[in-house]
Structure 1
Amino acid sequence: MRKLSPNAQLVSDVFDEIAKGNGAPFWAACHQDVVWRTIGESSWSGEFSGKQTIIEEVLRPLNYALAERATIPARIVDGGDVIVLQARGKNLTRDGQRYENDYVFVIHFEDGKIVRYEEYCDTELMARVLPDRIAAKSVSVSK
């Protein structure tokens, strides 16, 4: 078995922790000005810059929408400074629906830090099962 590059090993380690519900290593691996892009046309799609913006615009609404969250890594493609990860979501919405999306994450590194995170998934499933991101954001902020 071929040894992973340092960036691929970091992604592997980070997603092993994410699968356990621990997101802290992901944020530690990110550059302060990281860019998060979710493809598609749903309310969850878009490009968000900076850790704090990503937390407020994506993760807090997602935490509000989901009662249980896990992203299980399946395969890593090691491109050195660009790592591709296939994964499967194992999630449950607060209203009891399963949200089990397939993902491909394209993760760009500079100087050992994640600078760009691109999420490719079934956005039709996302739009059908998850609440509107803006509505979830406003509810999560008011709580």
Structure 2
Amino acid sequence: MPDNRAIVLDHMARIARGDLDGALALATDDAVFRSPDGSELDKAGLRALFSQLAPLLVNPLDQTIVGTTCEGDRVAVEATAATLLANGQTYRNRYHFLFELRDGRIVSSREYCDTRATDVFA
């Protein structure tokens, strides 16, 4: 049986360090990623979002995993992240993610965070 917690934490670590290809390799081809605003992205959509964000970040995200809860094919992760932005401001946020896996691969994720914290990107 796959270690779903380890798969999710590997996925998140790859995203934090900018290895989007590696992170997406841990997801199924039909995976769905739901953003805090409720929009749903497929793998191509998530790749496009990250390509738009990359020029705004000076450094990779400094991510801290606060805790995880695993139940079968569902993994919940509480995390914090911070980074310096190209506009000189510091981005900091708290997150909660819920991942669902099938056969050791991510099939969906839902992200929750403080959307007011993203105002520093403007």
Same topology, TM > 0.5: yes
Displacement of 1:24 after TM fit?
3.9
In 2, Cα distance between the equivalents of 1:52 and 1:13?
A: 20
Displacement of 1:91 after TM fit?
1.4
TM-score by length of 2: 0.84
Q: Which residue of 1 aligns with 2:59?
A: 68
Q: Which residue of 2 aligns with 1:31?
A: 28
Displacement of 1:19 after TM fit?
4.5
Q: Could you list the runs of 5+ residues in structure 2 that have no partner in the other structure?
A: none
Q: Could you list the runs of 5+ residues in structure 1 that have no partner in the other structure?
A: 132-143
Count, aligned residues: 120
Q: Which residue of 2 aligns with 1:109?
A: 101
Structure number with higher strand proportion: 2
Following superposition of structure 1 onto structure 2, how do residues 100-139 of structure 1 map, counting pairs within 5 Å?
A: 100-126=92-118, 128-131=119-122
TM-score by length of 1: 0.73
In 2, Cα distance between the equivalents of 1:30 and 1:101?
A: 24
- Structure number with greater Rg is 1
CA contact (8 A) 2:80 2:92 kept: yes
Secondary structure of 2:88's aligned partner: coil
CA RMSD of aligned residues (A): 1.9
Q: Which residue of 2 aligns with 1:46?
A: 39
In 2, Cα distance between the equivalents of 1:16 and 1:39?
A: 19
Displacement of 1:63 after TM fit?
0.9
The one-letter code sitting in structure 2 at the alignment partner of 1:83 is V
Structure number with higher helix proportion: 1
In 2, Cα distance between the equivalents of 1:21 and 1:99?
A: 16
In 2, Cα distance between the equivalents of 1:122 and 1:69?
A: 19
Q: Taking every aligned residue pair, what percent have the same amino acid on both sides?
A: 28
In 1, Cα distance between the equivalents of 2:39 and 2:15?
A: 22
